[in-house]
Copies of this chain bind each other. A is one copy, B any other.
Amino acid sequence: MREMTRHNLSEAYAGESQAHMRYQIFADVAEKEGKPNIARLFRAISYAELVHATNHYKTLGEVGNTVENLEKAIEGETFEVEEMYPAYNAVAELQEESGAKKSIHYAIEAEKIHAKLYTEAKEAALKGEDIKISKVYICPVCGYTSVDVLPEKCPVCGVPGEKFVAF
């Protein structure tokens, strides 16, 4: 693909991904305001944006096999853990932005675990195997990630284990 088209489609992928996310957040607000049909509209259109983002991403040729996809995932998580979030945290510290510091802290603690889990998955995938896990539990407040063990409370943000979402 020519470079300018590639650049544009990458931007469109970024924009659609953010719209997909934003509309889910807006759906929850509409739900709480007692407007379930506006919430329904936001959720449906959020899914349409997922379709657009997926089309752009596939057209970019970014989807590989599982080993390649895990390599890309590990690269992204490692960048976040080793570079991006530490840099953002340093600026938030300097500017005494406590809300941002908390949001960054929650993310980086989970990303360390993601990098490790994806690395283990890649080792299995390289041998043509699946991983041997039965459940993944995610904290709905901070994104803390636990495989096969539901913690009594979240070790990062303290939320009770019963609030965790199971996959």
Contacts and interface: CB of A to CB of B under 8 A. Distances in A.
Given A95-B2, A100-B5, A55 B133 contact: no
Interface in A48-99: 48-59, 62-66, 69-70, 72-73, 76, 80, 84-85, 87-88, 91-92, 95, 97, 99
A119 to B, nearest CB: 11
The number of times this chain is found in the oligomer is 2
Interface residues of A, number: 101
A56 B37 CA distance: 26
Interface of A: 1-2, 4-5, 8-9, 11-26, 29-30, 33-38, 40-45, 47-59, 62-66, 69-70, 72-73, 76, 80, 84-85, 87-88, 91-92, 95, 97, 99-100, 102-104, 106-107, 110, 114, 117-118, 121, 124-125, 129-134, 136-145, 147, 165, 167
